[in-house]
Structure 1
Amino acid sequence: MFRAKSFVGVLIHLSLMAIIVVAMIVGFFYIYLPSATNHGESISVPRIEGMQLTDAEELLEQQNLRYFINDSSYNSNLKPYTILTQDPSPDAKVKENRKIYISVNMKNPPMIKMPKLIDGSVKNAELILKSYDLKKGEVTMVPDLQQNAVLKQFVNGQEVKPGELIPKGSVVDLHVGDGLGNTEFEVPDVVGMPVDEASVLLVGQGLQIGNIIYVQGSEEPDGTVLKQRPFAEVGAVIRVGEFVDLWVAGEEPVQGIE
């Protein structure tokens, strides 16, 4: 056993012990530990957003990385099992065997309540459908006095009432009023009447005044209706809300300036 025979020997002995301890510390922290934990070695996380889960799984395995599905949602515009998000983000530096957290697109859409589109406009229906992740399908104009108003809503050919459950992402077809109504009646005959009286008669029957064309050189008094379209022929019918054009004798009145 080594024994120091002098003060200098003691110092040498202590110095040797200090060197050994320092060497052990340096060796553990800067040689053994880095080699055991791959210290300083990192992997760039690949971009897997937008990939199919099976393809992403293979890529991560090649990079010595793992994945964990921590969320899922549904997007009708993407294929099932498409990766929507990832954490850490692409190009982040991580250790081998790091777990990548992902969210994926569900295979089956969740069921949601059908919103109320009835009585609103087509434009309003489009905004509501978009907010519910639904799609506007075919718009069919049907006779009704409510012009451009949604009257009925359909999914897969079946009428759906507000509040009924439908798959998210469904295509919703609409029946929309054409503003003309469904009531048909014989075309009223206003030829020979003063244009003011003819207008009152037509409007009173739910019709609209279309173009008024003034004709000069007629033998009829000014302001008399000379012709109309559609014609008041036998069997001719018209629907509520439709237009009637009039040809009127005389010059077009000059609008006064106030």
Structure 2
Amino acid sequence: MLKSLFNWKVLLNLVIAIGIFVGLVWLTFRWLEYHTNHGQEIPVPNVVNKSVHDAVKILDDTGLEYEVDSANYDPKYRPFQVLQVYPAPGSHVKDGRTVRLRVNPRTWAPIVVPDVINKYSGLAFQRLDQVGLKIGDTIYEPSIQKDALLRILYKGNAVNPGTRLPRFSMIDVVVGSGPMRNISIPNVVGLSVKEARAVITKSMFEVGLVEYEDGGKDESDIIYYQDPAAGDVRDQGMQIDLWASKRTPAELRAKVEQLNSIYRMKVDTSLPPVHYEEVRTEPSYEPPVIPAPVPKKETPQPAVKTETPKAPATTSKPASSGVEKSKTPTGSNPASGNAHKPASATTKEAAEKPKAKKVVVE
């Protein structure tokens, strides 16, 4: 077997196969060098701070491709100024390599107007400032929506929510100042329903109930009655009810009189007017009641012993003799007046009778 392996024919085939393989590898590398421009590198030119038009022209002359990437607007740099280059300037790249340019845009990126219509003006202003819109003039317009944002104006034209505007654009806002008072109601009798709607809206009122005589909703029907009546004064935003028919108001005179009896109250002017007088009553002030003083309870004073000046002994006479005479023994004669009184009554009278003052005479 080894003898057949070293046969010259086998060795020749092996040498041919190796030569073919080496030739294919050499041709492959040569093709890659030619296709990738091996050894042919181009330095990236420095186009920073140049305008994007000049930078593109330089890259085209050099044989390099370019890609422009607009960054966020920076007011410190000029519009369309190249801020950065990748790969960095001075780097060697192959011919046809794409170079990325970071360019300052012309102005701020547009923003979307938020939906703040019919919202409270304070919250609406805050929201507009958050998205980057500057509020210029504030225009007040009569409206039943007091302090509500009614419209947004950009360069004099109304813009709707969702419209794109440049960032930091100056806008004007229309804010409701409250309803107007005492506005005269227009006369829409004889007009079509469509025309009446336009007149009522222009007069800053609203269309209320519309009653069609035939039950349809034909906007070409003629108004033959309205409530409130023309010439009355109402506040802005009040509703006006309408009655419409295909017939003229002259043909519906009976129905108009019927509606007048319902919606037009007749005032009897034959009675004298009632005068109201304002009566003012003066407040009465009563003096404060002072309570009467409570009498003090007197306590009995003890008997005081008094002495009289001394007198001669010849003129002295005991004063107690009179007291002793009033005393009667219990066993006295019943014929006397004091004999009928019981002993207890006599004792009580003696206790109630004040004691006589004792006078000592020396």
TM-score by length of 2: 0.29
**Which structure ranks higher in relative contact order (CA pairs < 8 Å, sequence separation ≥ 6)?**
1
TM-score by length of 1: 0.38
Question: Which protein has the larger Cα radius of gyration, Structure 1 or Structure 2?
Answer: 2
